Amino acid sequence: MKYILNSAVVTTPGVYEYRLIDIEEARRWVKEGGWESTIGYVETAFALAQLVEKPIPVNRKLIRMKAGDEALVFRLTVRLPDFRTKGNVGTDFILKHCEIGLLKKISD
């Protein structure tokens, strides 16, 4: 299975590999399809959609990755000064403070 996540999380015990990717690789990955978004905030989904040029649905689903699963990770690289602003920091802030990576679960 393929997912889009807003953080590089260990969803189940196992061995994972994580590497940063550029926008072009992210666009190719998204355009291949077959993924499910677990991005929980509208502004995060909107910011990623601007970068990959494809709509990203909002979905607060909890996932459990299995061996062979992979996820495109779109995450902030800074901590928010006030946790109450989570979900309301603005697209420009997200785009200035983000990275994109690919997380793969190698084995259980």
Task: Kindly report the CATH number assigned to the domain that includes residue 43.
Answer: 3.40.50.11170
- pTM attached to this predicted model: 0.86
Establish if 91 belongs to a structural domain: no
Distance from C-alpha of 20 to C-alpha of 3, rounded to nearest angstrom = 16
At 19 the three-state DSSP class reads strand
Percent of the chain with pLDDT over 70: 89
Establish if 36 belongs to a structural domain: yes
Domain count, the chain: 1
Establish if 81 belongs to a structural domain: no
Residue 9's identity, in one-letter code, is V
- Domain membership of residue 43 as a residue range: 2-71+100-107
Establish if 95 belongs to a structural domain: no
Per the CB < 8 A criterion, the answer to whether 4 and 48 are in contact is yes
pLDDT number for residue 87: 60
Residue-averaged pLDDT of the chain: 89
Establish if 31 belongs to a structural domain: yes
Handedness of CA 16, 21, 27, 28 (dihedral sign): negative
11-54 confidence digits (pLDDT tens): 899 999 999 999 999 999 999 999 999 999 898 899 999 999 99
Helix (H) or strand (E) run with residue 76 in it: strand 70-76
